[in-house]
Amino acid sequence: MNDQDLLPLTEQMAKGDVSAFRKVYEMTHKDVYRTVAFLVYNRQDIEDIVHEVYIRMWQSFHSYDRKRPFRHWLHGIAIRQVQDWKRKAWRRMRIFERATQYRQDDSDWTDDAVLQSETQRELLTAIRQLSYKLRVVVILRYFHDYSLEEIADLLNIPVGTVKSRHHLAVKELRKNYTHSGGDLYVPRQTTTR
């Protein structure tokens, strides 16, 4: 799926076409779900957040700039919804609930297609150990192939901050993944793309 496939549907959505919205949902749901699942671990929370992403998408579609990539705009909504959820959860969550959430089984937070091999499982475990700020940069950079500038735009932070977080994340992943017996290859950044 790419933005060209979605373009005619977004034009129909702009006119209020609910069936076009359903098709966009079907074409983007798996990608949005996977993104949220990398950032939140509880399945019910993931489903709630994804549901909110599509409500926000429909409600704010009038503000979508059709000159920009649709998927970029949609991922921005998803990231903001995760951040909103984290802020709300932080206020009401007790220490015991947080500890329970982090101990959940890997299969509870993402689909089997993502975890096809033991190597992927180990790497995903290493990614889950990163702080949220580092983890979101890794997910957007390596799972969605956004440039560092695009990530800065999505997160509404300076590019320098993204570069710093990216560098720290790669350093942590190399250290943690190598200690677990893996051999992590993360391409060195020669450009920002």
Q: Are residues 43 and 109 in contact, defined by beta-carbon separation less than 8 angstroms?
A: yes
> Do 138 and 156 reside in the same domain of the chain?
yes
Per residue in 3-59, pLDDT tens? 788 888 888 888 888 999 999 999 999 999 999 999 988 888 999 999 999 999 998
Domain, as residue range, for 81? 1-110
The residue among 103 and 142 whose pLDDT is bigger is 142
Contacts of 48 (CB under 8 A, 6+ apart): 85
Per-residue pLDDT, 117: 55
Per-residue pLDDT, 62: 84
d(CA 149, CA 176): 27
> How confident is the model over 66-92, as a mean pLDDT?
85
> Do 68 and 129 reside in the same domain of the chain?
no
> Do 65 and 17 reside in the same domain of the chain?
yes
> Do 105 and 121 reside in the same domain of the chain?
no
Per-residue pLDDT, 33: 95
> Do 5 and 83 reside in the same domain of the chain?
yes
**Any idea what the CATH number is for the domain that residue 73 is in?**
1.10.1740.10
> How confident is the model over 139-145, as a mean pLDDT?
87
The domain boundary residue, chosen from 110, 132, 158: 110
Residue 192 has pLDDT above 90, yes or no: no
> Do 2 and 74 reside in the same domain of the chain?
yes
> Do 130 and 98 reside in the same domain of the chain?
no
Per-residue pLDDT, 113: 47
> Do 46 and 93 reside in the same domain of the chain?
yes
What pTM did the predictor assign?
A: 0.65
The 3 state secondary structure assigned to 111-125 is: CCCCCCCHHHHHHHH
**Any idea what the CATH number is for the domain that residue 145 is in?**
1.10.10.10
The domain boundary residue, chosen from 92, 110, 128: 110
Q: Give the chain's length.
A: 193
- 17-to-12, 24, 56, 60, 175 alpha-carbon distances in Å: 5, 11, 16, 14, 50
Per residue in 80-136, pLDDT tens? 999 988 877 665 554 444 445 545 544 444 555 444 556 666 777 888 888 999 999
Q: In the structure encoding, which two tokens stand for residue 180, read together? A: 């677990």
> Do 23 and 104 reside in the same domain of the chain?
yes
The domain boundary residue, chosen from 110, 128, 145: 110
- Overall number of domains in the chain: 2
> How confident is the model over 157-163, as a mean pLDDT?
95
